[in-house]
């Protein structure tokens, strides 16, 4: 049973929403981030980067820096750029780009569901990052970027969403990356009906946002043990809930800086010890699970590892990202830990193949490992078993905007 709640979102005013809502700051190159901050006084990036242009700056991730974020957020509200809804709502958000359209619900998601395992995770979090994010929440008092969660489809939920999306959206704007964004507000009865429908959903699965959800849970736990009174809102965190069939998953490819002196002929000999190989006419992406393409020295190799029953039945060992590590990276290149290795770089599956190949041809890297995407079922099997996927196993869409519907942790 999944517990969600309606909330009073803090939202950009209609005539500035296209200027306020933004991709997360870390997704921008430094020069692009600088240009956006210089040219757009309304972007939410100014809240996240409150000292842009200041001569003296506070230390990153410090209490002083987070206080500056809080202050900038309050200034945006005082200036009327951000306003708070007068009544609680669930919100429908839809992204549309070319052949990819996805719609879901923005809601408060229960921390207790996270703590008791009703919200399932497939990725291990880093304690140091949790510490930073928890401190951030404690000081700024809001969630601005939803955690992406998936669930099994529900006819009742789909019906309410479909009916509302026939109406004119509260927000509709297109961003420079070609994505159209739309937002609808559900009324009290619609919100209540959906909250009840989610009580029939057995579990939610985190698709993207493991550190944000873990930090939200820690923040709530700290409030509970402090003995101080706090808002009911702090028992929830901001989530975007999407039917699992609507989520798009791409692979994370790997680029290897050095082959440690191994040439293409020697690599093929090593690969043949653990699988079948075939030289392809030209570089291409894998077409099926357990098929990997390896590009080196202007040659593309199709590799399919030998698998035993023990491997195929294990939800983690059967993942192509794990097979790559166990069959190739560890035994051939002595790369045991992807988190600490300086030899590996990860490339999101939305990057053009040509760009990946050029990185090898230009000798910036020596080898490219191209993987087939994991499925939502792969993710669920790992999460249901209480296990973790290897680092950078999935690249998930939709990618969400910050500052579109802000969730206050301090006020209901």
- Residue 61 falls inside a structural domain: yes
Give me the percent of the chain exceeding a pLDDT of 90: 88
Same domain, 123 and 226: yes
pLDDT tens-digit map of 2-50:
999 999 999 999 999 999 999 988 888 889 999 999 999 999 999 999 9
Tell me, what's the pLDDT at 153?
85
Taking Cα atoms as reference points, which of 340, 85, 305 lies closest to residue 187? Answer: 85
Q: What is the mean pLDDT of residues 75-88?
A: 98
- Segment 139-157, tens digit of pLDDT: 999 999 999 999 998 899 9
Total domains, the chain: 2
> Sorting pLDDT into bands at 50, 70 and 90, what band is 53?
confident
Q: In this structure, are strands 82-84 and 10-12 parallel, antiparallel, or unpaired?
A: antiparallel
How does pLDDT run across 347-369, given as a tens digit for each residue?
999 899 999 999 999 999 999 99
Distance separating alpha carbons of residues 347 and 203, to the nearest angstrom: 30
Are 140 and 268 found together in one domain?
Answer: no
Length of the chain: 412
Does residue 249 or residue 338 have the better pLDDT? 249
Contact, 365 vs 254, CB < 8 A? no
Whether residues 279 and 352 fall in one domain: yes
Is pLDDT above 90 for 86? yes
Q: Looking at the predicted structure, is the pLDDT value of residue 111 above 90?
A: yes
Beta strand 100-110 with 236-243 is antiparallel
Tell me the pLDDT tens digit for each residue of 267-318.
999 999 999 999 999 999 999 999 999 999 999 999 999 999 888 899 999 9
Using the predicted structure, report yes or no on whether residue 175 has a pLDDT greater than 90: yes
Task: Give dist(CA 258, CA 366) in Å, integer.
Answer: 6
Whether the predicted pLDDT of 389 surpasses 90: yes
Domain co-membership, 306 together with 215: no
Assess whether 353 and 309 both reside in one domain.
Answer: yes
Q: What is the share, in percent, of the chain residues with pLDDT greater than 70? A: 100
Q: How confident is the model at residue 54 (pLDDT cuts 50, 70, 90)?
A: confident
Mean pLDDT value of segment 396-407: 94
| CATH for 324 | 3.30.1760
For the chain, the average pLDDT equals: 95
> Residue 328, by phi and psi: left (phi above 0), alpha (psi -120 to 50) or beta?
alpha
pLDDT value of position 251 = 95
Q: Do residues 233 and 264 share a domain?
A: no
Q: Which residue, chain included where needed, has tokens 């969730």?
A: 407
201 and 67 inside one domain: yes
pLDDT of residue 403: 96
pLDDT score of 239: 98
Do 22 and 106 lie in one domain? The reply is yes
Indicate which CATH number applies to the domain containing 51: 3.90.1530.10
Q: Quick one: average pLDDT of 242-249?
A: 95
Which domain range does residue 182 map to? 4-248+398-408
Same domain, 215 and 284: no
For 284, half-sphere exposure in the C-beta direction (CA atoms, 13 angstrom radius) is 11
- Is 378 a domain residue? no
- Both tokens assigned to 219: 């923040």
Instruction: Identify the pLDDT of residue 1.
Output: 83
How confident is the model at residue 227, as a pLDDT?
87
pLDDT at 373 over 90: yes
Which pLDDT value is given to residue 115? 97
Other Cβ atoms less than 10 A from the Cβ of 303: the count is 24
Q: How confident is the model at residue 339 (pLDDT cuts 50, 70, 90)?
A: confident
């Amino acid at each position: 049973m999944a517990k969600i709640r309606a909330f009073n979102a803090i939202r950009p005013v209609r005539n500035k929403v296209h200027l306020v809502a933004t991709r997360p700051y870390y997704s921008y190159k430094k020069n692009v981030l600088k240009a956006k901050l210089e040219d757009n006084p309304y972007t939410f990036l100014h809240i996240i980067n409150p000292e842009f242009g200041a001569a003296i700056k506070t230390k990153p991730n410090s209490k002083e820096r987070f206080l500056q974020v809080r202050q900038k957020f309050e200034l945006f509200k005082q200036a009327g750029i951000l306003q708070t809804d007068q009544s609680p709502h669930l919100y429908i958000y839809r992204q549309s780009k070319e052949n990819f359209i996805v719609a879901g619900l923005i809601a408060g998601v229960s921390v207790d569901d996270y703590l008791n395992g009703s919200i399932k995770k497939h990725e291990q979090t880093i304690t140091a990052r949790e510490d930073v994010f928890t401190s951030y929440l404690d000081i700024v008092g809001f969630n601005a970027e939803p955690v992406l969660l998936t669930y099994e489809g529900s006819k009742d939920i789909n019906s309410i969403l479909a009916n509302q999306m026939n109406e004119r959206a509260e927000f509709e704007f297109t961003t420079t990356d070609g994505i159209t964004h739309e937002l609808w507000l559900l009324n009290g009865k619609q919100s209540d009906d959906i909250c009840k429908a989610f009580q029939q959903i057995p579990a939610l699965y985190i698709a993207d946002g493991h550190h944000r959800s873990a930090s939200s849970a820690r923040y709530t736990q700290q409030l509970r043990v402090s003995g101080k009174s706090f808002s009911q809102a702090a028992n929830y965190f901001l989530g975007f809930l999407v039917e699992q069939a609507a989520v798009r998953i791409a692979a994370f490819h790997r680029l290897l800086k050095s082959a440690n002196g191994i040439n293409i002929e020697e690599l093929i000999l090593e690969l043949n010890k653990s699988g079948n190989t075939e030289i392809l006419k030209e570089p291409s992406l894998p077409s099926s699970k357990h098929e990997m393409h390896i590009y080196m020295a202007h040659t593309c190799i199709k590799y399919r590892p030998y698998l035993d029953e023990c491997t195929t039945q294990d939800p983690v060992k059967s993942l192509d990202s794990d097979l790559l590590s166990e069959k190739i990276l560890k035994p051939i290149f002595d790369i045991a830990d992807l988190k600490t290795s300086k030899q590996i770089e990860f490339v999101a599956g939305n990057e053009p193949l040509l760009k990946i190949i050029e990185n090898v041809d230009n000798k910036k890297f020596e080898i490219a490992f191209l993987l087939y995407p994991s499925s939502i079922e792969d993710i669920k099997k790992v999460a249901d078993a209480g296990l973790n996927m290897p680092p950078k196993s999935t690249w998930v869409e939709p990618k969400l905007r910050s500052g579109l519907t802000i969730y206050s942790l301090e006020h209901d």
